[in-house]
């Protein structure tokens, strides 16, 4: 398959994109110039579309290019078999992969030089049944929210959580996989006064996490059979005030963490789950004494990521009575929901676009209908009434959720409906994220 590295004769003139791939310390290989231009144009278009990830799924017959924008993949161009193979090979070559080897998974990296910017690009290649999936993770330096209030949690509940964390106990953080868990965990840790209290952080060597100021991580290596419990005993010799473990997954670690509130320490830990209720039952399953966890819990913080409607092209509409009935909302309580629609452009601008054959799409969101993200939070604060609901394990999680709702706890669906009614997002986006 060396054809895509050779040179062809009598090719049309190339139009070079203002973007180059660079692997520091490695020479630029001899490539088919047209495939190299195409490979760079895919990335250039991704940057213009605000994409964080470029994914190419190659099946041998064709390659589907997708861009991840605000957490959702969008289909772009489809490449013919040989073209797709050549472009995938170019990305792999710059990532430092051996093209002669086929392994289930490999990772590498290169730099993208675009104008005055140097953009780190992590490359991941996986072989799955019937396909090869190559992903380019583009680190464009987009700022991540630092505070819970910047992520969508209201000030009142943020202060409530902060006050609870000033005392010894356990705070559990949860989110579904790949939906902002690390960002919300860091934001919870930032509620702690890390200048007045000694905070230690424990995480896997495989975690690519943003470091929290004054909470430098201590790592363990799962490949060597290590767990957080392997490194915590040494950290305890420092007499820390707060112990943060990014993910708890074994009974030994959980047992060690549950000893800390008795020594006047705060524990912040978490695991991946759909919501607070599921997370708590999973955490209890890791305990030899579930009641001990319940007695020490201060709060469970659940988080999802939603796309925000584009302000330039969102439109109100009266909520259908059938939808209100399905959601359990009384008639008249919500005046309008919002959804993406035609861009609100001046009539003369639309007329000009029509004359010039320009697609009439929103210039701000490029026709997607959504621009940016916000958080959907579920904050479960613990008191005796809440603890009573979890006194014994149950398989009926919905019954527990309904009982919590009667106590005034807002479910993720409640939070999503509130965001939709405010016009921040659409009810369709809430349904997509919550799968309801």
Taking only the tens of pLDDT, the chain with its 436 residues reads 444 444 444 555 678 899 999 988 777 778 899 999 999 999 999 999 999 999 999 998 999 999 999 999 999 999 999 999 999 999 999 999 988 888 899 999 999 999 889 999 999 999 998 899 999 999 998 888 899 999 999 999 999 999 999 999 999 999 988 778 999 999 999 999 999 999 999 999 988 788 899 998 999 999 999 999 999 999 999 999 999 999 999 999 999 999 999 999 999 999 999 888 889 999 999 999 899 999 999 999 999 999 999 999 999 999 888 888 888 788 888 889 999 998 888 888 888 888 888 888 888 999 999 999 999 999 999 999 999 888 866 667 788 888 888 888 888 888 999 999 999 999 999 999 988 7
Q: Are residues 62 and 134 in the same domain?
A: yes
Q: Are residues 157 and 262 in the same domain?
A: yes
Q: Do 189 and 199 form a contact (C-beta atoms < 8 A)? A: yes
At residue 2, the pLDDT reads 44
**Which residues are registered as beta bridge partners of 111?**
22, 120
Between the CA of residue 222 and those of 205, 239, 275, what are the distances in Å? 8, 25, 26
Give the Cα separation of 22 and 94 in Å (integer): 7
Would 178 be classed as within a structural domain? yes
Would 225 be classed as within a structural domain? yes
Q: Are residues 130 and 224 in the same domain?
A: no
CATH code for the domain of 278: 3.40.50.300
Would 143 be classed as within a structural domain? no
At residue 428, the pLDDT reads 94
Q: Are residues 82 and 43 in the same domain?
A: yes
At residue 4, the pLDDT reads 47
Would 423 be classed as within a structural domain? yes
DSSP 36: H
Q: Do 242 and 266 form a contact (C-beta atoms < 8 A)? A: yes
At residue 394, the pLDDT reads 64
Q: Is 168 left (phi over 0), alpha (psi -120 to 50) or beta?
A: beta
Q: Do 106 and 15 form a contact (C-beta atoms < 8 A)? A: no
Q: Are residues 175 and 288 in the same domain?
A: yes
> Domain boundary at 138, 158, 179, which?
138
Would 246 be classed as within a structural domain? yes
Alpha carbon of residue 196 to chain centroid: 31
List b or e across 147-181, with b for residues whose CB sees 16 or more CB atoms inside 10 angstroms: ebeebbbeeebbeebeebbeebbbbbbbbbeebbb
pTM for this model (two decimals): 0.85
* Number of separate domains in the chain: 3
**Which residues are registered as beta bridge partners of 184?**
none
Q: Are residues 192 and 223 in the same domain?
A: yes
Q: Do 73 and 67 form a contact (C-beta atoms < 8 A)? A: yes
Q: Helix or strand or coil: residue 360?
A: coil
Q: Are residues 63 and 124 in the same domain?
A: yes
At residue 393, the pLDDT reads 61
At residue 12, the pLDDT reads 58
**Which residues are registered as beta bridge partners of 370?**
309
Q: Are residues 114 and 70 in the same domain?
A: yes
DSSP 391: S
Give the Cα separation of 50 and 344 in Å (integer): 21
Give the Cα separation of 336 and 418 in Å (integer): 11
Q: Are residues 292 and 399 in the same domain?
A: yes
Q: Report the relative pairing of strands 242-245 and 199-204 from DSSP bridges.
A: parallel
Give the Cα separation of 225 and 178 in Å (integer): 24
φ, ψ dihedrals at 221, nearest 5°? -115, 105
Q: Do 377 and 157 form a contact (C-beta atoms < 8 A)? A: yes
Q: Which domain holds residue 335?
A: 311-368
Give the Cα separation of 365 and 74 in Å (integer): 13
Q: Are residues 19 and 101 in the same domain?
A: yes
């Amino acid at each position: 398959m060396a054809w895509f590295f050779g040179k062809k004769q009598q090719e049309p003139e190339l139009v070079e994109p203002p973007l180059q791939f660079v692997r520091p310390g490695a020479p630029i290989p001899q490539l088919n110039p047209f495939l190299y231009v195409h490979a760079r144009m895919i990335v250039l278009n991704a940057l213009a579309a605000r994409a964080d990830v470029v994914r190419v799924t190659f099946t041998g017959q064709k390659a589907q290019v997708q861009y991840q924008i605000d957490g959702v993949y969008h289909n772009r161009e489809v490449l013919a078999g040989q073209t797709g193979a050549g472009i995938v090979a170019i990305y792999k070559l710059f990532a430092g992969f051996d093209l002669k080897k086929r392994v289930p998974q490999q990772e590498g990296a290169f730099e993208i030089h675009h104008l005055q910017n140097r953009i780190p690009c992590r490359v991941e290649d996986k072989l799955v049944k019937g396909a090869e999936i190559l992903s380019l993770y583009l680190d464009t330096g987009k700022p991540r929210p630092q505070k819970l209030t910047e992520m969508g949690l209201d000030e009142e509940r943020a202060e409530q959580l902060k006050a609870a964390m000033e005392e010894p106990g356990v705070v559990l953080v949860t989110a579904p996989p790949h939906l902002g868990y690390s960002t919300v965990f860091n934001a919870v840790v930032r509620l702690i006064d890390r200048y007045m209290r000694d905070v230690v952080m424990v995480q896997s060597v495989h975690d690519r996490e943003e470091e929290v100021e004054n909470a430098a991580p201590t790592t363990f290596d799962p490949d060597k059979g290590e767990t957080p419990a392997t490194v915590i005993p040494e950290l305890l010799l420092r007499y820390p005030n707060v112990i943060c473990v990014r993910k708890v997954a074994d009974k030994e670690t959980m047992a060690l963490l549950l000893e800390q509130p008795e020594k006047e320490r705060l524990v912040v830990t978490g695991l991946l789950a759909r919501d607070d209720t599921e997370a708590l039952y999973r955490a209890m399953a890791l305990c030899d004494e579930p009641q001990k966890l319940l007695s020490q819990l201060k709060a469970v913080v659940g988080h999802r990521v939603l796309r925000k409607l584009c302000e330039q092209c969102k439109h109100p509409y009266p909520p259908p009575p059938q939808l209100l009935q399905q959601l359990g909302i009384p008639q008249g309580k919500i005046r309008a929901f919002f959804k993406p629609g035609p861009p609100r452009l001046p009539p003369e601008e639309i007329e000009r676009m029509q004359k010039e054959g320009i697609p009439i799409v929103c210039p701000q969101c490029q026709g997607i209908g959504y621009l940016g993200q916000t958080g959907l939070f579920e904050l479960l604060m613990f008191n005796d009434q809440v603890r009573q609901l979890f006194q014994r394990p149950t398989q009926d999680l919905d019954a527990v959720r309904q009982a919590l709702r009667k106590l005034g706890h807002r479910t993720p669906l409640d939070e999503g409906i509130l965001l939709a009614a405010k016009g921040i997002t659409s009810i369709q986006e809430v349904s997509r994220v919550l799968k309801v």
